[in-house]
Amino acid sequence: MTILCDLEIRQLCEQQQMVWPFRPELLNPASLDLTLGNEIMIEVADQRDLVRMDISERTEQDPYWMLPNEFCLAETVEQFNLPNTISAQFVLKSSRAREGYNHMLAGWCDPGWNNSKLTLELKNNLRHHRLPLYSGLKIGQMVFHRMSSTPARSYAVTGHYNNHLRVMPNVA
């Protein structure tokens, strides 16, 4: 596998809408920054399943505050349509990690993953302080890899998480 550079990422996004919306200001030399979307899922004490919460009105000045040790699922603004020759890996921005955010390392995206927003598994690793979440927060970056060849079976055929345009709990 080869990691794609900024020029290749831009070309694939502009020509094939690999990532939509594509915003050139989020492009890095070997990755594309991702931002938080409008919905998260949080744990509520008296409910077994995570509860959906709209954070579209939250801002940097008035965020949703993730409590110490709190876990949530969050969606990206960005929607993905990976070609059968491209895989991708989500990584937390180092600035977010240094603030205390953690991502559960479940951000692998197979070739053919399509028509979906990425669901992030976030945790506040701090013991005493809250962390802000709001729509538009730069949370991480996607690193794209060119496959050595086209897989025999695309994730477009085998995947459980295609066609999900909102944050998704486990569907297996």
Q: Report the alpha-carbon angle 134-137-138, nearest 5.
A: 160
60 is catalytic: no
Please give the DSSP secondary-structure letter assigned to residue 172.
-
Phi and psi, residue 75, nearest 5°: -105, 160
Would you call 116 exposed, middle or buried from its count of C-beta atoms within 10 A (0-12, 13-18, 19+)? buried
Which member of 8, 70, 99, 121 is catalytic?
Answer: 121
Retrieve residue 118's tokens: 């990425």
DSSP, residue by residue, 60-75: SSSPEEEPTT-EEEEE
The residues that are catalytic are 121
